[in-house]
Amino acid sequence: MDKHIVLSVDHLHISVSTPHGMKKIVNDVSFRLNRGEVLGLVGASGSGKTMTCLAIMGLLQESAIIEEGSILLEGKNLLQATPAQMRSIRGGRLAVVMQNPMSAFNPTVTIGSHFMETLRAQRSLSRAEARELAETYLGKTGLPRPAEIMKQYPFQLSGGMLQRAMIAIAMSLQPAVLIADEPTTALDTVHQMRLLEQMRRLCEEQETAMLLVSHDLGVIAYMADEVMVMQEGSIVEKAPVARLFDRPEHPYTRMLLEARPGIGLV
């Protein structure tokens, strides 16, 4: 295996069972993610982006079946991992930031306790070391007064602050791969750009590779090194970001680019 490849998805096929029979939702998806690289995944709603992410994380719903393919994280086939091994991988080498920050937190537990539980389960840190690391990462994602935030409950923070806290927890694990599915949707444009900048800096510092799912082509243009375009379960185009925006080859990519709002980053 090439030492720079951290995640390798090959010929992934996923179907879901419906009252009308099996429905194919991911069709022969293959891609590689290199250490420290940001790979953008774009496509219309329902094109299979989230299902691809859930498959990598081992969190597909029961009605979904992986019919074929392999998913290698640092050479280990995740499709052969036990549920206990997957839980440990998810909080360790593979971290996840999903769309809805509220769903990632237990409402009865403080932000600090979430941090301590995650950090101390994964790394042998004393309480004081874990606390210091947590506060450092809260600061790195732009949250003011980290020591106070640690004492607060999820409902006491705004959606944007929770999203930052969720990213801080994920990045504090220093994962090899971060799966980020619409990670900044709870923020306005200015805060979104600032947080994306901070996420990119953290990924560079830690050499974390990111699979970034977004509807927002401005976010993709700003963040990604390479972009994959997904349509109806298939990757129809994959290219370095500048080439994709300058010379889109697939008609669907051209359509997405033409449909984007006139004001933005691209």
Ligand X SMILES: Nc1ncnc2c1ncn2[C@@H]1O[C@H](COP(=O)(O)OP(=O)(O)OP(=O)(O)O)[C@@H](O)[C@H]1O
Kindly tell me which residue out of 27, 50, 172, 231 binds ligand X, with binding defined by CB under 6 A.
Answer: 50
Kindly tell me which residue out of 4, 63, 68, 155 binds ligand X, with binding defined by CB under 6 A.
Answer: 63
**Which residues does 87 contact at the CB level (< 8 Å), separation at least 6?**
none
| Cα–Cα distance list, 266 to 32, 223, 242 (Å) | 25, 12, 10
Nearest CA to 175 out of 57, 233, 80, 91 is that of: 91
Kindly tell me which residue out of 9, 33, 49, 141 binds ligand X, with binding defined by CB under 6 A.
Answer: 49
- The yes or no reply on residue 236 touching ligand X (CB under 6 A) is no
| Cα–Cα distance list, 186 to 90, 161, 162, 192 (Å) | 23, 9, 9, 8
Closest to ligand X by CB, 64 vs 169, is 64
Closest to ligand X by CB, 40 vs 48, is 48
Per DSSP, the three-state class of 27 is strand
- The yes or no reply on residue 141 touching ligand X (CB under 6 A) is no
Shortest Å distance, C-beta 239 to ligand X = 19
Q: Footprint of ligand X on residues 169-228 (CB under 6 A)?
A: none
Closest to ligand X by CB, 22 vs 147, is 22
Q: Indicate the residue type of 27.
A: N
Mutual orientation of helices 111-122 and 159-172 as an angle, nearest 10°? 20
H runs (alpha helix) in the chain: 49-57, 83-90, 111-122, 127-140, 146-150, 159-172, 189-206, 217-223, 241-246, 251-259
**Residue tagged 């933005």 (tokens):** 264
Shortest Å distance, C-beta 215 to ligand X = 6
Instruction: Give the total of residues touching ligand X (CB under 6 A).
Output: 13
Q: What is the CB neighbour count within 10 angstroms for residue 206?
A: 16
Shortest Å distance, C-beta 117 to ligand X = 28
Closest to ligand X by CB, 47 vs 174, is 47
Closest to ligand X by CB, 49 vs 140, is 49
Q: Indicate the residue type of 65.
A: I
Closest to ligand X by CB, 131 vs 238, is 238
Both tokens of 28, joined, read 């022969």
Closest to ligand X by CB, 19 vs 107, is 19
- The yes or no reply on residue 248 touching ligand X (CB under 6 A) is no
Rg (CA), the chain: 18
- The yes or no reply on residue 77 touching ligand X (CB under 6 A) is no
Binding to ligand X by CB under 6 A, coded x per residue (else -) over 19-48, reads: ----x-x-----------------x-xxxx
Shortest Å distance, C-beta 46 to ligand X = 4
Residue numbers at the binding site for ligand X (CB under 6 A): 16, 18, 23, 25, 43, 45-51, 63
